[in-house]
């Protein structure tokens, strides 16, 4: 098949806490254990869910990104959505067993034009910066949730769209944030998932605090280092912005960032109630 431009829905999967899992496995089984884990994930979840999708096109396939990362390509967005549902169901069926390690994945999808060349292997199978750049941001979002871009959302059936809620996703440095839609794809509440929280939610809650002393307590309770705390001479807006900017930093990863933002949200609520 020659290289050609085609519109595809591209799903990306990423196992949450994979480093933690492989570290434990390699201590017990050596590096061969990691290979067994990767093969098991692909066979039990990715390939099985893919095989359950009916009426696949010639362009639909599993793209191996190395390790536990995969992209799954679909010509039809409905098939892409069905894959995600079937994949999540297989994972949840696995997680029911109390004797096995629970799995949770980050899942995202974007839709758009890519250059597709089936003669290529690995990451070079498809090329398309607009589609894949957004995908790379979405798949770093909250584990247990399915994130999609606007193009994907717009072509989903209306009844499926109702399962999604809109939020803003942080772009890379020097890039604008962009709109995305999400739905919680894993219903197993025994899996710890971090609730998404937007900066707008934080700022709206901050409106409840009108005293400098309240802002100071928030900075103390969240563990903000003294060097980063707002100056006593800063006005309320500047002080609130300084706290949010610090909490929103993602230098230790998206999961850490969301954990800190959720903690900030809870602290603001506590201070507003107890003041």
38-82 confidence digits (pLDDT tens): 888 899 999 999 999 999 999 999 998 877 789 999 999 999 999
Q: If you average pLDDT over each of 32-46, 108-122, 180-194, which comes out highest?
A: 108-122
Residues 63 and 146 in one domain: yes
Q: Tell me if 147 is assigned to some domain.
A: yes
Give me the percent of the chain exceeding a pLDDT of 90.
34
Residues 233 and 177 in one domain: no
Q: Tell me if 32 is assigned to some domain.
A: yes
| Alpha carbon distance 109, 124 (integer Å) | 18
Q: Are 112 and 7 in contact (CB under 8 A)?
A: yes
Three-state secondary structure call for residue 88: helix
Q: Tell me if 194 is assigned to some domain.
A: no
Residues 105 and 78 in one domain: yes
Number of structural domains in the chain? 2
Residues 46 and 120 in one domain: yes
Give the model's pLDDT for residue 274: 65
Classify strands 105-116 and 126-127 as parallel, antiparallel or unpaired. antiparallel
- Cα–Cα separations (whole angstroms), residue 93 to 9, 102, 192: 26, 10, 16
Q: Tell me if 125 is assigned to some domain.
A: yes
Residues 18 and 130 in one domain: yes
Residues 249 and 140 in one domain: no
Residues 35 and 113 in one domain: yes
Q: Tell me if 192 is assigned to some domain.
A: no
Last residue of a domain, one of 184, 208, 239: 184
More confident residue, 108 or 275: 108
* Predicted TM-score (pTM) of this structure: 0.69
**Long-range CB contacts (within 8 A, 24+) of 57-63:** 58/1, 59/6, 59/8, 59/116, 61/118, 63/122, 63/123, 63/125, 63/126
More confident residue, 264 or 226: 264
Q: Which domain holds residue 259?
A: 199-274
Lowest mean per-residue pLDDT among 34-48, 154-168, 196-210: 196-210
Average pLDDT of every residue of the chain: 83
Last residue of a domain, one of 153, 184, 215: 184
Instruction: Say whether pLDDT at 146 is over 90.
Output: yes
Residues 35 and 121 in one domain: yes
Q: Tell me if 42 is assigned to some domain.
A: yes
Nearest to 132 by CA among 146, 118, 111: 111
Instruction: Say whether pLDDT at 131 is over 80.
Output: yes
Q: Are 128 and 115 in contact (CB under 8 A)?
A: yes
DSSP structure class, residue 149: E
Last residue of a domain, one of 122, 149, 184: 184
> What is the rounded average pLDDT of the residues 117-139?
87
| Alpha carbon distance 4, 117 (integer Å) | 7
Residues 180 and 261 in one domain: no
Residues 96 and 226 in one domain: no
Three-state secondary structure call for residue 127: strand
Residues 101 and 219 in one domain: no
Q: Using CA of residue 170, residue 238, residue 200, residue 17, what is the dihedral sign?
A: positive
């Amino acid at each position: 098949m020659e290289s050609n431009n085609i519109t595809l829905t591209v799903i990306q999967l990423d196992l949450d806490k994979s480093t933690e899992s492989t570290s434990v496995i390699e201590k017990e089984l050596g590096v061969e254990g990691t290979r067994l884990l990767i093969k098991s994930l692909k066979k039990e979840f990715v390939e099985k869910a893919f095989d359950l999708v009916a009426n696949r096109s010639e362009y639909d396939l599993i793209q191996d990104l190395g390790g536990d990362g995969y992209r799954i390509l679909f010509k039809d967005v409905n098939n892409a959505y069905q894959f995600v549902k079937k994949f999540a169901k297989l994972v949840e069926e696995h997680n029911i067993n109390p004797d096995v390690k629970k799995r949770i994945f980050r899942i995202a999808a974007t839709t758009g034009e890519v250059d597709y060349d089936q003669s290529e292997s690995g990451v070079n199978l498809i090329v398309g910066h607009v589609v894949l750049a957004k995908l790379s941001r979405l798949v770093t979002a909250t584990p247990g949730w399915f994130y999609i871009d606007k193009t994907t959302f717009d072509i989903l059936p209306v009844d499926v769209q109702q399962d999604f809620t809109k939020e803003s996703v942080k772009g890379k440095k020097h890039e604008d944030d962009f709109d995305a839609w999400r739905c919680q794809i894993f219903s197993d509440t025994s899996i710890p998932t971090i609730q998404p929280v937007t900066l707008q939610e934080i700022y709206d809650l901050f409106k409840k605090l009108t005293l400098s002393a309240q802002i100071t307590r928030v900075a103390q309770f969240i563990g903000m280092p003294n060097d980063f705390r707002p100056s006593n001479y800063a006005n309320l807006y500047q002080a609130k912005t300084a706290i949010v900017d610090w909490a929103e930093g993602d230098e230790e990863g998206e999961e850490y960032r969301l954990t800190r933002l959720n903690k900030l949200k809870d602290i603001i609520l506590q201070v507003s109630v107890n003041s």
